[in-house]
Structure formats: structure tokens, C-alpha cells
């Protein structure tokens, strides 16, 4: 990864970089100023060049024998790089990220095999990332950076659909478990944790329980995570997880978000979950934000939400609910 100034990073930009890394494709991220911001390891291998060589857009243009056009115009073309046929795509970025992603994918032996590869390995993960970003944006009051990230993923999906014989097919939906939800929520906050140098951990058992409205569970946990990330100090720690319990012969799920940030004052530990409570961001103590929505989810699922600190050094929010199978 090429270094770039921290002050130039945004949740949208870090989300794009994370997406490129997870996709494991030869790719180059350009900023709005046409400067190279990131080069994947797969790209250096394809070009047979070092990271330092790939810092130069001029070098890349020389290797492909063509000039990179306007970053705002989607482009697809066939190239010949290092003795290999390559499908080249320029995917414009908008909003918080800006710039463009250059993708160099070795051409499959046939359009049909390439189309199958895209359908089976790309569309599903990208669509899941898009939906997660949209949900996260809503929990943060329609955060523009997250909204831009979702729009960027949508652009990438649209660009892939332009490839010959590629179309997104309806896949048989896999039932989302509560463990899936916990891990997805944690993944959303990885860019924020990295920017704040916070150690983010997941402590979740592999459970099969689920909720029909798992998006609402995701929203409730995201609210608790948002509060933790807001109050935890730089270099601190946040742990999110879930435990299976049993009460009167029926299963219970105990979700928790723990951090080493400031504690909630004793006199606020009940009021902060009420709808009429007003968050005070300038208060010296921890006062929470939008926690009543987590309480609404808990009540709707025969459960409860509360905060406690037994050690005086860590603040833990608990969400205890019954899964759909137990109601």
C-alpha cells in the first residue's frame, strides 16, 4: 500500500481501499488530482514493477500504451500487459472519495467463464457491502461519507454489469445469523477504528439464532458501536460480541459493546435510553446518543438494554433479547 497523508483520508476513501484489498484484484486508486493513492499487490505483480515505480501515473500509462482519460468518465478496454490479455476498467468515484479506481483484470478464456466468475464471486460481496454502508449511513443520521461510499460501490457494480454477458442474478438468500450481524457491524467500524488508532475486537460465539428483522438488530448494535467509537480515547479498545444464554428453558442472546472510554454518570444510566433524552455532545461526562432506538429494539424483542461498569475502568452496554425461534 502506498502511504498517503492521514488528513486526506475519509471513511469513503478507506472503504474503497478496503474493498480493493478484499477483492484481491490488480487495481490502482487515483485521487482527484490524478495522483496515485494506492496500488494493490496484485497490480505490481501484473505489471512486474515495484511499488515505487507504480507511484507514477506516467509509468502506468507507458506500460499500458495509452493515456488515462478523464477520471469522471467510465471506461472499459482490452489491453496487453506483460504478455497477457487484460480487461481494463476505469471506475469514477464521487463525493467524499473522488478520483477513480483503475482495475486490470486478466481476461478469462471466454466471456462466459468471466461472467460466471463475476456473478459467483463479486456481485454478492459487493451488494452486501453496499447494503451495510447504506444501513450504517442511516444510523449516523445519513452520514454523507458513508452515503458516498455506498454510491461508489453501486458505481462499481454498474460498471461490472457492462462487461459482456454479465448480469446480476438472484441468488438463494442465506439466512443471516446473529453472529453474522455482529461481525458485519464490526467491519463497518474498522475504518473509523484505524483512523483513531483504536483496537477493535470481535468476541462472538458461532450461533445459528437469527432475527427476521436482522437489519434492525444491526441498527441497534451500530448505535452502541457509534457511541463507543465516539467516546473511546485514541489508542483505546472496543470489544463487540454476543453470548447465548437460557432462561426458563428458552434461549436468550446477550449482545455487548465494551470500551475503555469515560463512564456514564450514575444519574444518567436510565435516562439516556429514554426517547425524550437530549444528547449533550459538549458535556464533560459520557451522555450517549440515540440510545432510545436500541431500547426500542430490545423492548420489541422481549428484552432490555442497560449500561454498567463494575471495574470503574471499562464501560459496557448490554442488549439482551430473545431470538425469533424462541418467541
CA distance 316 to 216: 20
Closest CA to 18 of 155, 161, 194: 194
Residue 11 has pLDDT above 50, yes or no: no
**pLDDT recorded at residue 265:** 86
Residue ranges and CATH numbers for the domains of the chain are 6-161 (3.30.450.20), 178-326 (3.30.565.10)
Residue 103 neighbours by CB under 8 Å, 6+ apart: 25, 26, 27, 88, 89, 90, 91
**pLDDT recorded at residue 325:** 57
Residue 239 has pLDDT above 70, yes or no: yes
With beta carbons less than 8 A apart as the criterion, state whether 245 and 253 touch.
yes
**pLDDT recorded at residue 306:** 93
pTM for this prediction: 0.49
> Around Cβ 106, how many Cβ atoms within 10 Å?
15
What does the pLDDT look like over 246-260, one tens digit per residue? 877 788 899 999 999
Of the pLDDT bands very low, low, confident and very high (cuts 50, 70, 90), residue 324 is confident
What does the pLDDT look like over 48-62, one tens digit per residue? 888 888 998 999 988
Mean pLDDT of 190-202: 89
**pLDDT recorded at residue 317:** 94
What does the pLDDT look like over 305-321, one tens digit per residue? 999 887 667 889 999 99
Of the pLDDT bands very low, low, confident and very high (cuts 50, 70, 90), residue 8 is very low
Residue 225 has pLDDT above 70, yes or no: yes
Four-point Cα dihedral 114, 120, 126, 128, nearest 10 = 170
Number of H helices, E strands in the chain: 11, 10
**pLDDT recorded at residue 107:** 65
What does the pLDDT look like over 119-158, one tens digit per residue? 656 666 777 777 777 777 776 767 777 777 777 878 777 7
What does the pLDDT look like over 19-47, one tens digit per residue? 667 667 888 888 888 899 889 888 898 88
**pLDDT recorded at residue 110:** 44
Q: How far is CA 94 from the centre of its chain?
A: 17
Residue with cell 478496454: 77
Amino acid at each position: 500500500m502506498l502511504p498517503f497523508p492521514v488528513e486526506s483520508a475519509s471513511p469513503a476513501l478507506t472503504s474503497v481501499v478496503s474493498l480493493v484489498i478484499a477483492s484481491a484484484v490488480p487495481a490502482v486508486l487515483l485521487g482527484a488530482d490524478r495522483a496515485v493513492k494506492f496500488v494493490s499487490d496484485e497490480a505490481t505483480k501484473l505489471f512486474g514493477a515495484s511499488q515505487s515505480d507504480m507511484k507514477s501515473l506516467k509509468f502506468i500509462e507507458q506500460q499500458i500504451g495509452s493515456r488515462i482519460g478523464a477520471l469522471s468518465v467510465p471506461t472499459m478496454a482490452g489491453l496487453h500487459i506483460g504478455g497477457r490479455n487484460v480487461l481494463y476498467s476505469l471506475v469514477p468515484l464521487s463525493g467524499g472519495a473522488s478520483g477513480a479506481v483503475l482495475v486490470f483484470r486478466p481476461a478469462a478464456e471466454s466471456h462466459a467463464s468471466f461472467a460466471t466468475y463475476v456473478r459467483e464471486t463479486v456481485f454478492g460481496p459487493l451488494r452486501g457491502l453496499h447494503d451495510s454502508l447504506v444501513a450504517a449511513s442511516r444510523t449516523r443520521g445519513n452520514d454523507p461519507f458513508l452515503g458516498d461510499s455506498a454510491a461508489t460501490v453501486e458505481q462499481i457494480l454498474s460498471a461490472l454489469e457492462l462487461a459482456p454477458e454479465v448480469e446480476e442474478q438472484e441468488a438463494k438468500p442465506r439466512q443471516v445469523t446473529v453472529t453474522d450481524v455482529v461481525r458485519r457491524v464490526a467491519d463497518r467500524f474498522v475504518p473509523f477504528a484505524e483512523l483513531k488508532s483504536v483496537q477493535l475486537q470481535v468476541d462472538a460465539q458461532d450461533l445459528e439464532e437469527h432475527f427476521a428483522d436482522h437489519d434492525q438488530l444491526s441498527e441497534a448494535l451500530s448505535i452502541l458501536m457509534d457511541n463507543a467509537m465516539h467516546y473511546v480515547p485514541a489508542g483505546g479498545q472496543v470489544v463487540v460480541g454476543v453470548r447465548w444464554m437460557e432462561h426458563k428453558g428458552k434461549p436468550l442472546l446477550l449482545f455487548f459493546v465494551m470500551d475503555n472510554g469515560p463512564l456514564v454518570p450514575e444519574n444518567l444510566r436510565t435516562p439516556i435510553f429514554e426517547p425524550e433524552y437530549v444528547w449533550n455532545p459538549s458535556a464533560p461526562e459520557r451522555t450517549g446518543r440515540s440510545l432510545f432506538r436500541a431500547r426500542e429494539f430490545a423492548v420489541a424483542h422481549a428484552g432490555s438494554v442497560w449500561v454498567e461498569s463494575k471495574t470503574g475502568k471499562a464501560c459496557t452496554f448490554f442488549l439482551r433479547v430473545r431470538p425469533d425461534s424462541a418467541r
